[in-house]
Amino acid sequence: MSKNTIVSGFLVLTIMLFNTGCISKFFTQDKSPNRTTQGSSQNSNILKKYKNPDVECNDDLTITKSACDRGTISENELKKRPTEGEVHSLTSIRGKKIHIKEMSNGFIFPEYRNKIILLEMFGKDCPHCLKELPTIKKIRRRYRGKLEVIAIQAQGKMDRFTAKNYINGHQIRYPIIEGDDAKNLQYFIQKTYGWRGILPYILVVKDGVTEFAYSGEVDYPDIEKDIDSIL
């Protein structure tokens, strides 16, 4: 085989891989202006650790959207105009009132004072969220009394029957809030931390300060080590 033939074949293969997104994601991931390895450029000094998502290549070009990509929220979708220091008055699927106050470098949770909060965005149809669920439940048990999980179901509204089956079927004991009721909060997270809608997504907040962020699945040893470091 001639040298020119080998070079031509390599160029064709490279172009095909770029078209699938596998290589282009690898090269562009850390160059995004909205996200660095420590969160968004806007708040890079407030996060001690940012775990980049494990992006899975998908060569099926007929699939336009992953089940783990809820997409971003535009300002036109918001129920009210965002305000600085907004306090979100939310109600969980089971009826618990939860208030979340935005801070420049984190959040205040009046109902959960002196607790570390795992603020999680997940999707009911997201397979990676289901895989991560045992880790979230185990972390909550491990730090019982010191930590609470507040989850935002960000992937299409569940009817009451579906929500009840999801919570009971997976034996979830922490509050879940429907994403449609918390769009302003999700929008703030997008703007502040560079979240682009990939699920699951977790912020770890202690004493009103966001300490860690995880985009994509997080392993139990990793999150346990991080939480131990701030206790």
Query: Does 112 share its domain with 181?
Result: yes
Q: Which range is least confidently modeled, 13-17, 99-103, 144-148, 221-225?
A: 13-17
State whether 49 and 91 are in the same domain.
Answer: yes
- Indicate if the pLDDT at residue 218 is higher than 80: yes
pLDDT at residue 61 tops 70: no
One domain, residues 189 and 91: yes
Query: Is the confidence at residue 199, as pLDDT, over 50?
Result: yes
Are 72 and 22 in a shared domain? Answer: no
Maximum distance among all Cα pairs of the chain, rounded to whole angstroms: 71
| Residue 44 and residue 16 share a domain | no
More confident residue, 18 or 112: 112
User: 22 and 88: one domain?
Assistant: no
pLDDT of residue 67: 81
- Same domain for 11 and 101, yes or no, is no
The answer to whether residue 124 scores a pLDDT higher than 60 is yes
Task: Report the C-alpha gap between 121 and 203 in whole angstroms.
Answer: 9
pLDDT value of position 156: 86
Contact call for residues 121 and 195 (beta carbons, < 8 A): yes
In DSSP notation, 106-164 reads EEE-GGGTTSEEEEEEE-TT-HHHHHHHHHHHHHHHHTTTTEEEEEEE-SSPPPHHHHH
Same domain, 16 and 47: no
Report which residue type is found at 176.
I
Q: Are residues 7 and 62 in the same domain?
A: no
Lowest mean per-residue pLDDT among 56-65, 68-77, 102-111, 168-177: 56-65
Residues 113 and 133 occupy one common structural domain: yes
Higher pLDDT, 160 or 65: 160
pLDDT band at 65 (very low <50, low <70, confident <90, very high): low
Q: Going by C-beta distance under 8 Å and a sequence separation of 6 or more, which residues neighbour residue 30?
A: 36, 37, 52
Assess whether pLDDT exceeds 60 at residue 64: no
CA distances, 152 to each of 17, 80, 119, 189, 217 (Å): 35, 19, 8, 12, 16
Range of the domain at 10: 1-30
Mean pLDDT across the chain, nearest whole number? Answer: 80
Give 8's pLDDT tier (boundaries 50, 70, 90): low
Q: How many domains does the chain have?
A: 2
Please give the model's pTM, rounded to 2 decimal places. Answer: 0.75
Instruction: Name the least confident of 14-18, 72-76, 87-91, 192-196.
Output: 14-18
- Whether residue 58 sits in one domain with residue 40: yes
Nearest-angstrom CA–CA distance, 50 and 96: 30
Rounded CA separation 204/189 (Å)? 13
Identity (one letter) of the amino acid at 103? M
Edge-first strand order for the sheet with 97-103 is 87-91, 97-103, 106-108
Q: How many CB atoms lie within 10 A of CB 131?
A: 11
β-pairing, 49-51 with 209-215?
A: parallel
Residue 77 predicted with pLDDT over 50 = yes
How much is the average pLDDT of 30-41? Answer: 32
pLDDT tens for 203-217 read: 999 999 999 999 999
